[in-house]
Structure 1
Amino acid sequence: MVEKAEFSSSLYHPKHWPMWFAVLLMRITQFLPLSWQMALGKGIGRLVMKFAGRRTHTARRNLALCFPQMSPQAREQLLVRNFEETGKALFDTINAWWWSDTKVQQHMSITGQEYVQQTLDAGHGVILFAVHCLPLEMGARIFGQFQPGVGVYRPHNNPVMEYLQVKGRLRSNKGLVPKRDLRQMVRCLRNPDVIWYTADQDFGRSSAVFIPFFAVPDAATITGATTLAKLGKAKVLPFFVERTAGDKGYQIEIMPPLAQFPGEDEVADAVRGNHIIEDLINRNPAQYMWLHRRFKTRPNPTDKSLYQ
């Protein structure tokens, strides 16, 4: 488990100077009023939508696949809003990594934390069953104000970004575990402790079952929540974070532990998990990460891509 951000003098190599300059600009923007940050993020998102053609196509296609009942005009409006919210997410991350605890507490609300404490007091680990909402970084920082946990993450390929994300996330977490280190996750849950877990992305064929997700009948879905809950003797608690109306701050909700989870059938558990994910996304679909190619893995390798 990663418990400290390791700094190396090699990070000062000239090839990393552009990245450090970008970091300096980001650090400066943390002092802007939140309303100014969100207005700037909205504009950045629109620029990204205009110039990132591949990502725009992916998001547009995801919306069409998931919401075929929605009119094309309504989906296009949702697409624009989603890119605006994606631009704002840049500042969510900046705030999560560099705001003081006092400033975080001035812009947050949280409900359901008693379910976490009750579960831990009963001797069970807690799996926070989250989705990739755009303000998820801030969600973890807010959660850490009352109960620091263990984050599951993907190490970054860029060494400067790896240092920054570890340092930023450890402001609210006890440690970070690479997403493929199942043994360490189980050890943390048996401690007992809290970990974040997401099952709403496409992680490939090897660990997937093909089950419905919104209107797509055969979306590749991992069954890791069942495995973790069984091995870690843990309870699964749905977790949701969003920006409040008018972008005034952030709010998270933690829901009661899922009853009779895990069950006897991991596929049935995964179907249940997807229903929960859909419900969470539907709370604020504009603030979900639609830019990910959620349906890139098809049931058969010869199947036509849904993104063509």
Structure 2
Amino acid sequence: MRKLPVFNYSFLSPRFWLIWIGIGTLYILVLLPYPVIHYLGTRIGRITKYFMTNRMRIIRRNLELCFPNLPSQEQKNLFNKNCESIGMGVFETGMAWFWSEHRIKRWFKINGLDSITKARKKNQGILLIGMHFFTLELGARILGMLNPGIGVYRPNNNPLLNWLQTKGRLRSNKTMLDRTNIKGMIKALQHGEIVWYAPDHDYGYKNSVFTPLFAVSNAASTIGTYILTKIAKPAIVPFVARRLPNVLGYELLILPNQQNEIPLDTNINMIKHINKVIEQVILLAPDQYMWLHRRFKTRPPGESPLY
């Protein structure tokens, strides 16, 4: 098992000073009242479209691929709101890492917690199906405050950022597992733990099947969910932390347990169902989803690239 990162005095060297300045600035900014944070975050997000040009092309392409029948003006509106969420995502990461429990609870309302409570009463492992929303870090923090669990993550290539994100996530959770550590996830689930897992990205050909996602008929989708479910037999609980309109804060929305609804006869049928769940969750807050990733970069043999 990969060891969790620990603080290294080399992080104080000059090559990391810009990161420390950025983190220090973020820490100070998230001390501001939430309405001010919201104002700054959305305005900064609007500016990103003029600098992150490659990512802007990816966002537009993903929206075209997933919602081809959405009128052009609605696609444009969704694109603009998504840009605002990019700016908010930076602040929301800082809020997740630096806010006190009292302040987070003040700005969150929670719906559907009984889905977790019922599974916990059965001493059953719970596979929390999360998606890559800009509110991802906040969602992990509030869930950990309610029911501490185990996060699944991809270590950051920058050692300081890797330490910071791990330290932030462990403020309210037990430990972290590398996303490649399937055996560790299975063991945790079999011991009744809560494991946060995100199956919504394109992880390449290996251990993936091609199944529909929105209007894309062949989306490379990880079979990790199938392996974990088949062996550990956990409750399958999707969730999303979404930002509410009118600066009202956030809602942690926990959906019903999917365990009895998921077909396990083949991995393709199971992942088709999971992708439908992913669609359902994304549509709860499509403007807050990370459309800036090349979700459909892996194509079946012979198919042309989509980007």
Are 1:178 and 2:187 an aligned pair?
no
Map of 1:109-120 to 2, 5 A cutoff?
A: 109-120=109-120
Q: Compared with structure 1, are the counterparts of its residues 140 and 73 closer, same or farther at alpha carbon in structure 2 (3 Å cutoff)?
A: same
CA distance in 1, matches of 2:69, 2:4: 48
Aligned position for 2:44:
44
TM-score if structure 1 supplies the norm length?
0.96
Q: Which secondary structure state, in structure 2, belongs to the residue aligned with residue 303 of structure 1? A: coil
CA distance in 2, matches of 1:5, 1:305: 37
Are 1:272 and 2:259 an aligned pair?
no
- 1:137-187 CA-to-partner distances (Å, cap 9, x unmatched) read 101111112201100001111111011101100011100001001111111
CA distance in 2, matches of 1:3, 1:26: 27
AA partner of residue 130 (structure 1): G
AA partner of residue 110 (structure 1): I
Map of 1:126-137 to 2, 5 A cutoff?
A: 126-137=126-137
8 A contact 1:213–1:274 mirrored in 2: yes
8 A contact 2:81–2:287 mirrored in 1: yes
Aligned position for 2:242:
242
Aligned-pair RMSD on alpha carbons? 1.4
AA partner of residue 184 (structure 1): G
Q: CA deviation at 1:123?
A: 2.7
Aligned position for 1:7:
7
Aligned position for 1:285:
286
> Sequence identity, in percent?
37
Q: CA deviation at 1:247?
A: 2.7
Q: Which secondary structure state, in structure 1, belongs to the residue aligned with residue 146 of structure 2? A: coil
Map of 1:200-279 to 2, 5 A cutoff?
A: 200-258=200-258, 259-261=260-262, 263-279=264-280
AA partner of residue 283 (structure 1): L
8 A contact 1:238–1:256 mirrored in 2: yes
8 A contact 1:3–1:174 mirrored in 2: no
Q: Which secondary structure state, in structure 2, belongs to the residue aligned with residue 196 of structure 1? A: strand
CA distance in 2, matches of 1:81, 1:107: 21
Q: CA deviation at 1:230?
A: 1.9
8 A contact 1:226–1:262 mirrored in 2: no
CA distance in 2, matches of 1:248, 1:95: 15
CA distance in 1, matches of 2:128, 2:30: 28
Deviating more after overlay: 19-28 vs 116-125: 116-125
Q: Which secondary structure state, in structure 2, belongs to the residue aligned with residue 283 of structure 1? A: coil
- 1:60-115 CA-to-partner distances (Å, cap 9, x unmatched) read 00000011101222211211110111111111100000001111111111122222
Q: Which secondary structure state, in structure 2, belongs to the residue aligned with residue 256 of structure 1? A: coil
8 A contact 1:226–1:261 mirrored in 2: no
Aligned position for 2:296:
295
Q: CA deviation at 1:20?
A: 0.6
8 A contact 2:263–2:273 mirrored in 1: no
Map of 1:58-137 to 2, 5 A cutoff?
A: 58-137=58-137
Q: Which secondary structure state, in structure 2, belongs to the residue aligned with residue 50 of structure 1? A: coil
AA partner of residue 85 (structure 1): S
CA distance in 2, matches of 1:35, 1:121: 38
Q: CA deviation at 1:2?
A: 7.2
8 A contact 1:126–1:237 mirrored in 2: yes
Q: Compared with structure 1, are the counterparts of its residues 106 and 269 closer, same or farther at alpha carbon in structure 2 (3 Å cutoff)?
A: same
**Any unmatched runs of 5+ in structure 2?**
none
AA partner of residue 161 (structure 1): L
Q: Which secondary structure state, in structure 2, belongs to the residue aligned with residue 205 of structure 1? A: coil
8 A contact 1:129–1:237 mirrored in 2: yes
8 A contact 2:189–2:232 mirrored in 1: yes
Q: CA deviation at 1:120?
A: 2.3
Q: CA deviation at 1:5?
A: 5.1
8 A contact 1:27–1:94 mirrored in 2: yes
8 A contact 1:4–1:167 mirrored in 2: no
CA distance in 1, matches of 2:198, 2:3: 21
Q: Compared with structure 1, are the counterparts of its residues 167 and 120 closer, same or farther at alpha carbon in structure 2 (3 Å cutoff)?
A: same
Aligned position for 2:158:
158
